Amino acid sequence: MFNYSMAIIVSPDWGAAASMKNALGLLGAFGADEAGATAIEYALIGSLLSVVIIGALLSLNGTMVELFEHIRGFIVPALEGASS
């Protein structure tokens, strides 16, 4: 893991070439750093799972409403009979 706080600060009298070399070195070290890759992968997996779950729930919407109405048909008369 690259420690960005240890980056060399280029003096103005070193010239533009040294500054560019330091910037490219820092950019290369940043590109090689894979510390956040796992978090991004987990975020992609989580978003994919949420899309799949939402799609499944939307496709089952009519079936679930019918199922709950069927169950309600048994529960409501039982509760009305129990309260009488």
pLDDT band at 53 (very low <50, low <70, confident <90, very high): very high
- Output the six-digit token pair for 80: 């009305």
Q: What are phi and psi of 33, to 5 degrees?
A: -75, 120
Select from 28, 22, 37 the least CA-distant residue to 2.
Answer: 28
What pTM was estimated for this model as a whole? 0.42
- Output the six-digit token pair for 78: 């039982």
pLDDT score for 21? 74
Going from N- to C-terminal start, the domains of the chain cover: 4-35, 38-83
- Output the six-digit token pair for 51: 């899309």
82 or 67, higher pLDDT: 67
Total residue count of the chain as it appears in this document: 84
- pLDDT tens, position by position, 1-38: 555 555 555 555 555 666 777 777 777 776 776 777 78
